Structure 1
Amino acid sequence: MTYKSILLNLNIDGIVAPVIKLGVEMARRFDARLIGFSAADVPPPIVMEGGTTFEGESMMLQHQNIERRIEDLRAELEDRAGTTVETEWRGAVGNPTRLLINAACAADLIVTASPKGSTSGNVHRSADLGNLILQAGRPVFVAANDQKSIRPNKIIVGWKNTREARRAVVDAMPFLQIAQEVRIITINEKATDAIWNSLNDVVAFLSRHGVKAKAEIFPERSDGGAIVDVADALHADLIISGGYGHSRLREWIFGGATRSLLENDRLNRVMSH
């Protein structure tokens, strides 16, 4: 398995140069087509006492500004990619999350930066990462905010024997196969036989795909943040994890591993659902 098509999301208000550099490097590494994407929408008129806050002329101006910015992003991607990477561009005025999810069918992998605010933000100006992970049907690479290049030498897999985690391991196989060190991490207070059997099964599965991995168990934290702490302590280059094993509402209220990962913008993450 490899990535032959990468969908690179450029947040219209974000600092895009590091993300473009990352996308181009990935496309070169995997010999993949790079599909640049950007979208933003004009907020609907807000009706208030005495009339609306946005008139037709103002909305038209916002629409034109979005189109100009999207065109600038297209030109920047093509300039930085040069002739060594095959590129395609998809830009539109519309809901960025919905349009990005619709475009996901054209790619093996989605690459995006964390919008400011991580799990929330301006829904008209940046993709909602939670909805993207839940609905795209593709693995999502969420880049660290200080990303300059990707060297996935040391990878941590956040493991729980769930559909989401099993999917994530398969989806991230191209990264795992080029890593120098892979650790399968389970966060649990009890090292039961069932947990160790599951971990050993994953290690054996990866071995058959040419990936040498080591399994470990670490104690749990109530807020789901233990996997982030382990990744920081081990200086991991990349975390692979299933997304939203619990409902998104439950994680928003009580915390959880997915929420902790999305809120930590110092780490590169690949997440699948």
Structure 2
Amino acid sequence: MGYKSIVLNLDIDGMVAPVVKLGVDLAQRFDARLIGLSAADIPPPVVMEGGVAFEGESMMRQRKNIERRLEDLRAEFESLAGATVDTEWRGAVGNPTRLLIESARVADLIVTASPEGASSGNAYRSTDLGNLILQAGRPVFIASTNLENFRINKVLVGWKDTREARRAVVDAMPFLQMAQEVRVVTIDDEATDETWNGLDDLVAFLSLHGVKAKAEVFPEKSNGANIPDVADAMNADLVISGAYGHSRFREWIFGGATRSLLENDRLNRLMSN
């Protein structure tokens, strides 16, 4: 098992070089094709008292600005990737989250940075990570801030005996097989024999795939920040976790553990649903 097609998401307003260098690094490690993708959309006209706030000429100007920026991103992507890996470029005027989810059909893995700067929270210019993870049907690697060279030495698996966590472990197997140290961590105030039996089963499963892992249980904190805390303490290079959430009024509502990982841009995270 391996990643043979990686979709690399570039925030139209974000840093480019660190993310592209990471994508190239991963594509080289896994002998994968690297597909660069960036998109931004034009906000619809806002009707206000007395008329429309944005006229057709203004919208056309915004479109041209997006198209110019996409061409600049393509040039930078191709320059940084060079001939070291097989590449493809996809740039479009459209909703960035929707287009990235659609492009997941050609990906084994999606790589993205956390939205940053002025684009953060702007649905027309940045990716909604929660929406992406829960709808893409592919593992999503969320890079820590300004990461360029990615070590795969210490990996932490945030484990719950759920479909999402099982999916995440299988999706992350290429990373797990490269790691030198793997710790499977469950957050539970009162671990039972059933809890430990599940952990033992997972450790045995990983062993069959050539992954030597150690299982541990930690007590729960009220703010759900346990997994990031343990990851910081062990200097983890990557945290693997299932993503748990549901839609309410077209917004994604996440549990504390998932939310704390999504918001922690100091960690590299691989999340599946």
- Range class of TM-score, shorter chain: over 0.9
What do residues 79-130 of structure 1 show as CA deviations (whole Å, max 9, x unaligned)? 111111000011100011111000000010000000028xx60000011000
Distance 2:175 2:204 in 1: 17
Instruction: Give the Å deviation of 1:222.
Output: 2.1
Mapping 1:37-48, distance limit 5 Å = 37-48=37-48
Distance 1:236 1:102 in 2: 31
SS at match of 2:199: helix
Corresponding position of 1:222: 222
Corresponding position of 2:231: 231
What do residues 169-225 of structure 1 show as CA deviations (whole Å, max 9, x unaligned)? 000000000000000000110121111011111100000000000000011112211
Amino acid at match of 2:200: N
Amino acid at match of 1:101: I
Distance 2:256 2:157 in 1: 16
Distance 2:246 2:81 in 1: 39
Indicate if the aligned counterparts of 2:8 and 2:37 stay in contact, CA closer than 8 A: yes
Corresponding position of 1:97: 97
Q: Percent identity?
A: 74
Indicate if the aligned counterparts of 2:19 and 2:146 stay in contact, CA closer than 8 A: no
Distance 2:152 2:69 in 1: 32
Distance 2:102 2:15 in 1: 24
Aligned residues: 270
SS at match of 1:98: helix
Mapping 1:48-67, distance limit 5 Å = 48-67=48-67
Distance 1:268 1:59 in 2: 37
TM-score norm. by structure 2 comes to 0.96
SS at match of 2:178: coil
SS at match of 1:177: helix
Indicate if the aligned counterparts of 1:146 and 1:266 stay in contact, CA closer than 8 A: no
Indicate if the aligned counterparts of 2:187 and 2:220 stay in contact, CA closer than 8 A: yes
SS at match of 2:137: coil
Indicate if the aligned counterparts of 1:144 and 1:268 stay in contact, CA closer than 8 A: yes
Q: CA RMSD in A?
A: 1.6
SS at match of 1:247: strand
Amino acid at match of 2:246: S
Stretches of structure 2 lacking an aligned partner (at least 5 in a row): none
Corresponding position of 1:153: 153
Instruction: Give the Å deviation of 1:254.
Output: 7.8
Instruction: Give the Å deviation of 1:247.
Output: 2.7
TM-score norm. by structure 1 comes to 0.96
Instruction: Give the Å deviation of 1:255.
Output: 4.8
Indicate if the aligned counterparts of 2:139 and 2:172 stay in contact, CA closer than 8 A: yes
Indicate if the aligned counterparts of 1:223 and 1:254 stay in contact, CA closer than 8 A: no
Corresponding position of 1:210: 210
Corresponding position of 1:20: 20
SS at match of 2:12: coil
Mapping 1:59-78, distance limit 5 Å = 59-78=59-78
Q: Which runs of 4+ in 1 moved over 3 A?
A: 251-255
SS at match of 2:111: strand
